[in-house]
Amino acid sequence: MYTRIISAAVAIAAAIVLLILHNTFVFDLAIAAISIAIIYELFKATKYAQFKIQSYLCYGYAFLNAFMVIMHRHGWLYFINERFYFGIFILAMLALYLKSYETFKYTDFFVMTGVTMLVTYSLETLLNMSGNVFMLVLTLCGAWLADSGAYFVGTFFGKTPLCPKISPKKTLEGVIGGVLCNGILLILISLFYDFVLDGPSVNYIVVFLAGIGCALVGLVGDLSASLIKRQCNIKDFGNIMPGHGGVLDRFDSVLLVAPFMYYIFSRGWII
């Protein structure tokens, strides 16, 4: 427990620094590093890391996807858009497929490109929110606070297993508690933003519903990651955060919550 608390404190401090620097290249590079780390952990868990050149191409695409945001923000290299370097990435992966078809099967090609595209797409929505720290805070809290609420409610009131074969410790009571806590906590964060920081008016009904949605969407991401770990016979995706596991162990919910919240914000339903 002491190790988990120390790791969490360090992670929170790092997150605060990145949020302060949310509108700088530091945030973009941090998202690139997180994307690469998640892809690496998935490849390592599923044994796809053995395809080293293909893996490096996937890492390179994840880095380039964030790096080009920095370039475009300064008005540089506009002629190199996402469709352009995505096309080059796919052509390069196909060339490796043709070259190494005896060991690198079509299933390997689709899994590696699919994982890379899903991870970069999800975290790219955080880059799209980088100009508004409130959007980032509400999104990350929406992904992470529900799990904490579910843990405490489940500890004291949990009796009904939710899906014991995938995640034995999760209970139906804990999930319900986490869902409600998430909606309430996002409202409290929004109240602070609205009245203390004097931000634009917030639609609190949508915030509460968004909190519920984040908890449910994040639960799908959490359970999916747990299932992958069980099928790969591993406890955690990594050990970069002692007591917490790898990067994906902390961002499994964010991968689904970030696109969900970006859509809600982009429709103008919250602000």
- List pLDDT tens digits, range 197-213: 888 889 999 999 999 99
Residue with tokens 């955690």: 236
The stretch 98-120 carries a mean pLDDT of: 96
> pLDDT at residue 2 above 70?
no
Question: The whole model's pTM is what?
Answer: 0.93
Buried-state track 3-13, b at ≥16 Cβ within 10 A, e below 16? eeeebeeeeee
pLDDT score recorded for residue 248: 96
The stretch 91-103 carries a mean pLDDT of: 97
pLDDT score recorded for residue 119: 97
| Higher per-residue pLDDT: 125 or 199 | 125
- Average pLDDT value over all residues in the chain: 92
Tokens of 1: 């427990």
Write the CB contacts of 119 (distance below 8 Å, at least 6 apart in sequence): 35, 38, 39, 42, 62, 255
Q: How far apart are CA 56 and CA 54, in angstroms?
A: 5
Lowest mean pLDDT among 9-23, 84-98, 129-143: 9-23
Longest dimension (CA), the chain: 63
Lowest mean pLDDT among 67-71, 102-106, 204-208, 225-229: 67-71
